[in-house]
A and B are shown apart, each in its own frame.
Chain A
Amino acid sequence: MSDTESSESEAHEQHEHHDVEGPGYATPQAAIEQAEREQIAYVPSLYVGTDVDAPDFLSVVDINPDSNTYCEVIDRVEMPNKGDELHHFGWNACSSSCHVEGLERRHLVVPGQRSSRLHIIDTKDRESPEIVKVIEPEEVYEYDLSAPHTVHCIPDGEILVSMLGNKDGDLPGGFLELNDDFEIEGRWDPPGEIEMNYDFWYQPRHNVMVSSEWAAPKTYYPGFGLDDVEAGNYGHKLHVWDWTDRTVEQTLDLGEEGMIPLEVRFLHSPEAVHGYVGAALSSNVFHFYEREKEWFAEKVIDVEPREHEDWDMPVPGLITDLLVSMDDRYLFFSNWLHGDVRMYDVSDPANPRLADQLWAGGLFGPRHPTGEDDRPVIAGPQMLQLSIDGERLYWTTSLFSTWDNQFYPEEAERGSVMLKADVNPRKGTMTLDEDFLVDFGEMPNGPARAHEIRWPDGDCTSDVWQ
């Protein structure tokens, strides 16, 4: 596809890695070759919005099948305060800082989505991480920002966090930058570039960042309302930024078919000018790409709503997460309401081809996918994570405390689960592993929700390559 290749600068032609001392991997393929099988998963786990009078915590989950504590939460890092709503989180460093000698992928930045508090967790002891620093909400409000969401490590050891609101929980949102000592460097973007914010992904070789839109925190925090959709309070745009100038160069309005565009995933190859975003409410996947210095977004997957006997209208799939395999071969996404995970061949990025689909929980999937004697799975697949070799897909089931309460009230009573499918990338198939179930309903303080998943050595949604 000659129209998708952008010219490289000479610097990138010289991007050699013969003396690399920095974190991460030289290329996505090097990650596949060099990464060990994931044995530990970090999973934010939460009590906010329930009557469990305890703080949220970061779970350390044993996912080593040879271990005596396989499928168990082996450590819980409790937050110092209640009410955070731990949600998404990220590393201090990744492959984009490959030339920063001595920098390690060691600290997790774990934001409270509701509290606007940022926790820095040292994972030097992988099985027993510790909180080493807390940035209090008042420090964040000084930059007229709140509601931290996505954490990406950016080149030179800096950290960028998307912030969904101003200090009042209203618009506009923006981006907060932390330095390598985990101090607030400042607001990354000039105020006024965007109104709504959500997720972002950058592709340094093409000097581009793409950000998406949820809504003002005061709109989505209390729960989902159709009146807010009708009033235009939910997002439907992608913003294409000049990465070095920190300005929005193009805004792509996805329209009615692109309501609530959430997770943004570029392909991993530093050469790629292709990515995907899932429009949650419209339940469509958009392919965005560059051609002759201009960016475009086109709907490439449309999940049809389904009739349900208890619903007044057909149920949307609600695409809440998606990811691209490290080899850029497959796109996976979850339909949280329907209850399925889909796997698409994206070797032709503009024309995804459905390879396989798997059902567990949700409104249409089996309630006991791992066996009738096992606990029920309430909500459908939500946050996804794939092994770096592309052979194991894991997911959790909670979306957001208040939204869970609307669509799956039982999620609070029973707690979330983490499930796994074995993936065959050669055959394009997924098989649910009926022997794998992590039960967050069985926590010491009571049933917990569980959200994003990360491996200690990076994963398919953490790393970016220069």
Chain B
Amino acid sequence: MRDRHRIELRWRDGRTETVHGTEDESVLDAAERAGVGLPFGCRTGACATCTGRMIEGEIEHARPPRGLKREFEQGGYVLLCIARARTDCRIEVGSDVQTDLVTNPWK
């Protein structure tokens, strides 16, 4: 059993939930184990439905986050279906985090 880390999930409406995740499981899996629902799609890092934004702490993606453009990755966005906590974390979650990344390109 690798280290367990405290992961605080924050929605933009002010709701927060704290779950605990090991270094071998994704943040999404840790949340589901605790009965906390987060948006997701492919669960392989290709679709970005599960996008979150790091406020504090560190995660490591278990495989390349193909659904996340490089500039977003550098901006602190992470894919929770393949993100594993490496320290205690505070992460912004909810479907509107993903919508940050896709605006109308013609407006």
Interfacial residues, chain A to chain B (CB-CB below 8 A):
48-51, 53, 82-85, 114-116, 137, 146, 165, 167-170, 217-218, 221-226, 310-313, 315, 401-402, 405-407, 409, 412
Contact bitstring B50-87, A, C-beta under 8 A = 1, else 0? 01000000000000001111000000000000000000
Please give me the 5 A-B residue pairs with the lowest Cβ-Cβ distance, nearest first.
A169-B46, A223-B102, A53-B37, A114-B41, A221-B47
Residues of A within 8 A of B45 (CB): 169
Q: Closest residue to B45 on the A side, CB-wise? A: A169
Contact check, B67 vs A218: say whether CB atoms are below 8 A apart. Answer: yes
Contact check, A225 vs B47: say whether CB atoms are below 8 A apart. Answer: no
Question: Which of B40, B41, B43, B102 is A225 in contact with, Cβ under 8 Å?
Answer: B102
B94 at the binding interface (Cβ < 8 Å): yes
Residues of B within 8 A of A116 (CB): 42
Q: Quick one: given A49-B39, A49-B95, are A222 and B44 in contact (CB under 8 Å)?
A: no
Shortest CB–CB separation between residue B12 and chain A, in angstroms? 10
Q: What separation, in Å, do the CA atoms of A317 and B46 have in the docked complex?
A: 28
Q: Determine which residue in B42, B45, B98, B101 has the highest number of CB atoms from chain A within 10 A of its CB, and name it.
A: B42
Q: Quick one: given A49-B39, A114-B47, A224-B102, are A218 and B66 in contact (CB under 8 Å)?
A: yes
Question: Which of A83, A226, A406 is B49 in contact with, Cβ under 8 Å?
Answer: A83
Contact check, B42 vs A223: say whether CB atoms are below 8 A apart. Answer: no
Q: A165-B46, A221-B46, A223-B102 are in contact. List 18 more A-B contacts (CB 8 A).
A: A48-B41, A49-B39, A51-B95, A169-B42, A169-B44, A169-B47, A169-B66, A217-B47, A218-B66, A221-B67, A222-B48, A222-B67, A224-B102, A312-B107, A315-B106, A405-B98, A406-B99, A412-B95
Shortest CB–CB separation between residue B78 and chain A, in angstroms? 13
Q: Closest residue to A167 on the B side, CB-wise? A: B44
Contact check, A169 vs B39: say whether CB atoms are below 8 A apart. Answer: no
Contact check, B106 vs A222: say whether CB atoms are below 8 A apart. Answer: no
Residues of A within 8 A of B41 (CB): 48-49, 83-85, 114-115, 221
Contact check, A225 vs B105: say whether CB atoms are below 8 A apart. Answer: yes
Question: Which of B40, B42, B107 is A82 in contact with, Cβ under 8 Å?
Answer: B40
Residues of A within 8 A of B107 (CB): 310-312
Contact bitstring B89-107, A, C-beta under 8 A = 1, else 0? 0000011001101111111
Question: Which of A51, A83, A405 is B102 in contact with, Cβ under 8 Å?
Answer: A405
B-side interface mostly: loop
Q: Closest residue to A314 on the B side, CB-wise? A: B106
Q: Quick one: given A221-B48, A402-B102, are A168 and B43 in contact (CB under 8 Å)?
A: no
A-side interface mostly: loop
14 contacts between A and B (CB under 8 A): A48-B49, A49-B39, A53-B37, A82-B37, A83-B49, A85-B41, A115-B43, A146-B42, A146-B46, A168-B46, A169-B45, A223-B101, A402-B48, A406-B103
Contact check, A49 vs B49: say whether CB atoms are below 8 A apart. Answer: yes
Shortest CB–CB separation between residue B2 and chain A, in angstroms? 24
Q: What separation, in Å, do the CA atoms of A405 and B39 have in the docked complex?
A: 14
Contact residues, B8-55 vs A (CB, 8 A): 11, 37, 39-49, 51
Contact check, B66 vs A406: say whether CB atoms are below 8 A apart. Answer: no
Q: What separation, in Å, do the CA atoms of A270 and B104 have in the docked complex?
A: 42
Q: Closest residue to A229 on the B side, CB-wise? A: B105
Shortest CB–CB separation between residue B10 and chain A, in angstroms? 13
Contact check, B42 vs A221: say whether CB atoms are below 8 A apart. Answer: yes
Q: What separation, in Å, do the CA atoms of A409 and B99 have in the docked complex?
A: 9
Question: Which of B11, B46, B99, B105 is A218 in contact with, Cβ under 8 Å?
Answer: B46
Q: What separation, in Å, do the CA atoms of A114 and B44 have in the docked complex?
A: 10
Residues of A within 8 A of B66 (CB): 168-170, 218
Q: Quick one: given A168-B66, A218-B66, A311-B106, are A48 and B46 in contact (CB under 8 Å)?
A: no
Contact check, A222 vs B102: say whether CB atoms are below 8 A apart. Answer: yes
Q: Closest residue to B65 on the A side, CB-wise? A: A218
